[in-house]
Amino acid sequence: MLMFSCLIVGGIRQWFLGSIFMAAAIAASVAIVGPSESLESPLLTSILAICATGLYICLTAYYSHQQAQALMLAKTQIQNQREQSIALSHKLSKYLSPQVWQSIFTGERDVRLETQRKKLAVFFSDIKGFTELSEEMEPEALTELLNHYFNEMSEVALKYGGTIDKFVGDSIMVFFGDPTSRGQREDAFACVSMAVEMRKHMKIMRQKWRSQGIKTPLQIRMGISTGYTTVGNFGAENRMDYTIIGKEVNLASRLESLADPGEILISYETFSLIKDKIMCRDKGEITVKGFGKPVPIYEVVDFRRDMGPHRSFLEHEHSGFAMYLDSDKVTEREREAILAALEDAADRLRQEEGAS
């Protein structure tokens, strides 16, 4: 019984110490009393020993049961706390870019005031015509439209691996190259590719808004710059913001403000990294505060693979008509439905032309 208690309470080490003490006690008893001449025990002693053993076993079983209940309760509490922590972390992730959130919760990045210099591709965009629209729409409807726009554009940004910095009014700021980078050339190409897809996706959203009665022609304008910036946690110990600062950020913002509706303006550094894959047009030079010399800028036209007669992407837009086609993304079943819709539209236009 003594050895059993030692194993339950303290494990092997306690059992080993208990064995030493028990052996020492037996040796001392034999030395003091002397060896027993008879191995037979009185009946009363045997009954008391059996009763004591039974009582001990019952008490030990009750103790073990209580310990098991306590362990199950602790396990349940730990599981509940874990689920609450996961739910809370997912809620907090809504306030951070997924890359930043993941780097923090996996322990790759410490939450403290620190910055570093990195070469990043910086993207700015805003909606041309949003100010006029805000004067026409009710705040609730305007908020719903803006949230829908941010949600759609955020999905495009995350698709290309961009780190969403912030939303300010109707503006979006995204950068590529931190916390993870695929190399300067790939980061710049991903940033410009994102901008091109945003421009195409804006056409679809504009048609959807028009069908909802929003007649103001909303268009996106974008600016991209590539260069060294300071990136990291800025602010105070109790309130930090993971963002970037530097003259390249100012240049990207300036390019966005100079862009025409539907236009993507990029800096020369960005152009030099993506010119082999994307067709661009020279737009001259601009003077920007913080830059000693005029800055050459370029307009993004389209992917080189989508230029010419064999391009997969086609678009056409007029008042009362809009077409957006990316044949590489159309399935065979969708192809038949699209052809049928185009034939119906063509027949109706021919009938109306003949009637006139």
pLDDT tens-place string over residues 69-81: 899 999 999 999 8
CA 1 from centroid of its chain's CA atoms = 58
Quick one: pLDDT at residue 66?
Answer: 87
| C-alpha triplet 193, 194, 198: angle, nearest 5° | 120
> What superfamily in CATH does domain 113-306 come from?
Nucleotide cyclase, GGDEF domain (3.30.70.1230)
Query: Which H/E stretch holds residue 232?
Result: strand 219-236
Structure tokens at 22: 């028990």
Cα→Cα distances 257→125, 205, 238, 264, Å: 8, 22, 34, 11
pTM, full prediction: 0.67
Quick one: pLDDT at residue 196?
Answer: 93
* Span 266-278, pLDDT tens digits: 999 999 999 888 9
Cα of first residue to Cα of last residue in the chain, in angstroms, is 109
Q: Across-strand partners of 235?
A: 240
Contact call for residues 121 and 187 (beta carbons, < 8 A):
yes
Quick one: pLDDT at residue 356?
Answer: 67
Quick one: pLDDT at residue 324?
Answer: 64
DSSP β-ladder status, 313-318 and 219-236: unpaired
Pick out the chain residues at pLDDT < 50.
none
Per DSSP, the three-state class of 284 is: strand
Quick one: pLDDT at residue 45?
Answer: 80
Query: Which H/E stretch holds residue 6?
Result: helix 2-33
Quote the CA–CA distance of 245 and 173 in Å, as a whole number: 12
Quick one: pLDDT at residue 8?
Answer: 67
Quote the CA–CA distance of 79 and 72 in Å, as a whole number: 10
Structure tokens at 33: 């009393």
Ranges of each domain in the chain: 113-306, 312-345
Quick one: pLDDT at residue 180?
Answer: 85
Quote the CA–CA distance of 174 and 157 in Å, as a whole number: 8
Contact call for residues 258 and 286 (beta carbons, < 8 A):
yes
